[in-house]
Structure 1
Amino acid sequence: MSTFRTRSVTGAAAALSLSLVLAACSGGSDSDSAAETGTQGKVSLEFWSWTEGIEAQTKVWNKEHPETQIKFVNAAGDTVYQKLRASVTSGDAPCLSKMDGMNLANFAADGLLTDITKIAAKYKSSYTAPAWNSVSPGGATYGIPTGSSPLFTAYRADLFQKYGISAPRTWDDLIAAGKAVQKKDKNVKIFNMAGEDPSTLVDLSWQANAQWYKVDGDHWAIDFTSPEALKAGDIVQELVDNNLASNASYADPGVFKTWDLGSTILMTTSTWQLPIYDTNFPKSKGKWQLAGAPLFDTAHPQTSSNFDVTAVLKGCKYPDRAAQFAAWLSSSKESLTALTDPASKSGLFPAVDDVSPYVDKIIPTDMFNGKSDSANVITTAASRVGGQWQYGPDYAAMYSEMQKQWGKVMKKQLTVKAMLTHLQNWVLADLKNKGVKAVAGS
């Protein structure tokens, strides 16, 4: 996802190991059955990450845990996932690495991770169900959640008052507000959708309770054209058809001006982006307000989130120690207090059940007008993340394909429904080609 936006399975499906569903395409993953017994003695584990503030925490850990030393490697760069794949193939992979949820699913599908289901079970209760779902595609667990990015809304309260509109509670409200603003000023947009970034559709689909990928027995059910998915697509289509959204690229350094100067007056956003406003919205400081993300169903409020994770790579000799460190990093009060401090520059927001101790200090109070409870907005958003969303075995590849189609949608060369239909067929063909059993529908 763009640098600016980037944004639980139950019953029989949760019990099904991903390795069973993906056996045909995967080289297999290390089983944790051989690694259940805790290792003895001093060990050293290599850990790749590119999040600021993490290295300092590894030093804290090393001082307190002489028996498990973490060797931190700053792996920043656009080719980090390619390098990780190559390192697994060559047999010199790190034990641990930062990832996002969709890449964890892809690495697991390709047999590049270690199954730590039994080892990690004791840490599960510390995290939200959606967060744990992000490290357990198909039911088997391959890492520990690190951080979350629950979605909420930031809007120009001064301009909302000027145009006589209120913070939208639903996506239909947002469409109506956008139309009302357009009647008063054609140059002002209610929203922004960049041509290279389809994350808006992902967020909407998640919020609408769609399930593009779902484990069903011994196969994946692929459903980009369910009623829920199409309902999400319809909102995007309305924004496009009615010219309600600006199209500022998140790759353009000037993108901030569309909000700072008031040509776009609302955005869906998350915790890690808040410090960006303080730095890049000088003219509109103090004029913003937070509200919950627009909903599809106010009786059953649901939003979306991205998740950062710490994955355990294939070949890790000490998965028990690896999981122990990863859980300490992302759930201990000591580590989270440091990482959620703006001074750490990590931008991390916890994926734990109780986020209340960490919310207040991440809010740049000078940015907001003080007329709403920003901490409550964020805490509520964290509690509303839908647990049904699942990353499938080719999610990262699918996302790249969606990016290609998304630009056409923004230019009105392709409808959202046509894009979703294309993605449905593309994923089914891609998984078949990979030898993964998948069928259309739920």
Structure 2
Amino acid sequence: MTPPSLPPSRRRRRRTILAAAAVALMASMTACSSGDTASTDTAGDTASGPVTLQFWTWSLKGSDPAAKAIVDKYHQLHPNVTVKLSEVGGTADTSAKLLAADKAGDTPDVVQVEYRGVPALVVSGAVKDITADVAGVKANIDPNIWAQTTFNNQVYGVPQDIGPMMLTFRKDLFDKYGVKVPTTWAEYAEAAEQIHKKNPDAYISNFAADQLEFFAAQAAQAGAQWWSTDGNAWKVGIDTEPSLQTADFWQDLVKRDLVKVEKLLTPEWNAEVNDGKILSWAGGAWVPSVIYTVAPDTAGKWESVPLPQWTKGQAAVPFQGGSAYLVPAKSKHAKEAAAFAAWLGGSKEGSTSLLSVDIFPGGNAGRQATLTHEPPKLTPQQKDFYQVTDQVIKNTTIPVTWGPNVNVAQSAFGDALNKAALDKTSFRAVYQATQQTVVADLQKSGYTVTQ
């Protein structure tokens, strides 16, 4: 497939590298297999003298002994390379900082970015094509995971982790209130009603309007794609009927006060999770790790199950979240940086080491290792956690394509949806307005958009 063309000014800066080409790759994907793959490192230590790689990340914290052990191990394998960890925020903060550093000509060497942020950085020319550098580990990560960082058959990042979607819930309180664990979203709504009736202070979940990625995944599970391609043009589907039906679903729950309108990870939300007033979180398999950081005393009371389905019997879900290691275009040690990224995300030793910092690895070896790994600290009693997760990964066959203006969608969507939730106004109208904003921005930027 030929991807949508860039505006002429951008074509002069870069080859045509739009993320839309990912759709062609995704079309040929098959579901993940959990089989282990022989690990292959890259060419290895390419430095002729000592090199220090600046690594922007939020997953590997310099204060964490396990993270330090990972980079120390790499230094043992490659004595000329030292990796310096610098903690940064999430994708929005990191992308903005990277673009500023790119303009200043002073970038890090490796940067962790969520998958949804990759297309915009590729289009901007801020990150490097590392296809040849990571060829040695290509077989060690499944195609549907590589697809999230591969555009026009060019690789721009090594996958770190993946977010197969699940429902993590307070099993003890579901049992106490006599609530059946939902397998469909209709059952989820019933469970929400039962919980709030049993305890008016308790909710099945909060409603965090700023979680664009979650709502895009909901729409994808229902059969919509917020960004896709149509020949040489972009197509935006935020206001398609399947997407709008998911908006109706959440509007109904908000209207009936069955979910609490508030952001995630605020002091209030943290307290409610600890107090048993928020009973579940639908999200990636990384959710237990996040909950544990704010509510460690609730460990042993939670469990994770496959995500509820819109249509019973249709288990396919998209990934939510996850990130990759990218090499900035102006890295001073790009070869060494790509070699480190390939080792950490794609080699057997690197991929399995990510388990020590509570990351769900994207690499096959790391995924295979999860099957015999202790469950997350939040769910120590759920010995089959990773078996359940692995089955979810096999069902993760819905590709989600991110467009080059995700940031525009985020700005248009989050605040407006939150206001609609508080004011009890139309969610559909927010989705429709976001559609118009995203389309207008693409057209203004010189892209062709078809409806």
Whether the TM-score (by the shorter chain) exceeds 0.5 is yes
1:313 match: secondary structure: coil
Retained in 2: the 8 A contact 1:359–1:378? no
The residue number in structure 1 matching 2:427 is 416
Range moving further from structure 2, 144-153 or 197-206? 197-206
The yes-or-no answer on 1:294 pairing with 2:308 is yes
1:21 CA drift (Å): 4.5
1:100 has 2:106 as partner: no
- Identify unmatched segments of 5+ residues in structure 2: 18-42
The share of aligned pairs that are identical, in percent, is 22
Tell me if structure 2 keeps the 8 A contact 1:277–1:367: no
Counterpart among 399, 404, 407 of residue 415 in structure 2: 404
User: How far has the Cα of 1:138 moved from its partner?
Assistant: 6.1
Conservation of the 8 A alpha-carbon contact between 2:216 and 2:226? no
State how far apart, in whole Å, the 1-side matches of 2:299 and 2:47 are: 54
The answer to whether the 8 Å contact 2:160/2:325 transfers is yes
Q: Following the alignment from structure 2 to structure 1, what is the Cα–Cα distance between the partners of residues 428 and 203? A: 23
CA contact (8 A) 1:25 1:434 kept: no
- Paired with 2:16 and 2:136, the residues of 1 have a C-alpha distance of 17
Indicate whether 1:129 and 2:143 are aligned: yes
TM-score by length of 2: 0.81
Is 2:13 aligned against 1:28? Answer: yes
Partner in structure 1 of residue 226 of structure 2 = 212
Structure 1, 185-194 or 311-320: larger mean CA deviation: 311-320
2:264 aligned to which of 237, 250, 257: 250
Is 1:170 equivalent to 2:184 in the alignment?
A: yes
Counterparts in 2 of 1:433 and 1:263: CA distance versus 1, 3 Å: same
Residue number in structure 2 paired with 1:426: 437
Structure 1 unaligned spans of 5+: 1-11
Q: Deviations over 1:371-401 (max 9, x none)?
A: x732222222333334420111111232122
Contact 2:112 2:326 in 1 (8 A): yes
Matched residues in 2 for 1:381 and 1:410: separation? 31
Equivalence for 1:154: 168
Distance 1:140 1:377, change over 3 A: same
User: Is this contact kept in 2: 1:49–1:74, CA < 8 A?
Assistant: yes
Give the Cα–Cα distance (whole angstroms) in 1 for the partners of residues 172 and 45 of structure 2: 59
1:393 to 399, 404, 413: 404
- How far apart are the structure 1 equivalents of 2:238 and 2:301? 38
Relative to structure 1, the CA distance from residue 102 to residue 27 in structure 2 (aligned partners, 3 Å threshold; closer, same or farther) is farther
In 1, Cα distance between the equivalents of 2:95 and 2:212? Answer: 21
Q: Tell me the amino acid that sits aligned with residue 358 of structure 1.
A: T
CA deviation map 1:124-163 (0-9, x unaligned): 3322334222212565431111111222112222222233
Alignment match of 1:236 (pick from 219, 225, 250): 250
Contact 1:208–1:302 (Cα < 8 Å) also in 2? no
The answer (yes or no) to whether the contact 1:45–1:322 under 8 Å persists in 2 is: no
SS at match of 1:200: helix
Compute the RMSD of aligned alpha carbons. Answer: 3.2
Q: Which amino acid aligns with 2:53?
A: E
Instruction: Report deviation, 1:191.
Output: 1.8
Partner of 2:32: none
Contact 2:351–2:363 (Cα < 8 Å) also in 1: no
Asked if 1:49 corresponds to 2:49, the answer is no
Superposed counterparts of 1:37-436, under 5 Å: 42=48, 44=51, 46-50=53-57, 51-52=60-61, 53-54=66-67, 56-66=69-79, 69-77=81-89, 79-117=93-131, 119-120=133-134, 123-137=137-151, 140-278=154-292, 280-281=294-295, 284-303=298-317, 304-316=319-331, 319=334, 321-341=336-356, 346-353=357-364, 355-361=367-373, 363-364=375-376, 367=379, 370=382, 373-436=384-447
Provide Cα deviations, 1:251-300, integer angstroms capped at 9, x if missing partner.
Answer: 42232332332222222244434244445436644332221111223433
- The offset of 1:306, in angstroms, is 1.0
Q: Distance in 2 between matches of 1:71 and 1:316?
A: 14
Residues 60 and 183 of structure 1, relative CA distance in 2, 3 Å threshold: closer
Letter of the 1:334 partner, please give it. E
| Corresponding letter in the other structure for 1:42 | S
Cα pair 2:209 2:415 within 8 Å, conserved? no
Letter of the 2:48 counterpart: K
- TM-score, with normalisation over the residues of structure 1? 0.82
The alignment partner of 2:163 has SS state of strand
DSSP 3-state at the match of 1:305: coil
Q: Which amino acid in structure 1 is aligned with residue 184 of structure 2?
A: T
Whole-angstrom CA distance in 2 between matches of 1:356 and 1:314: 33
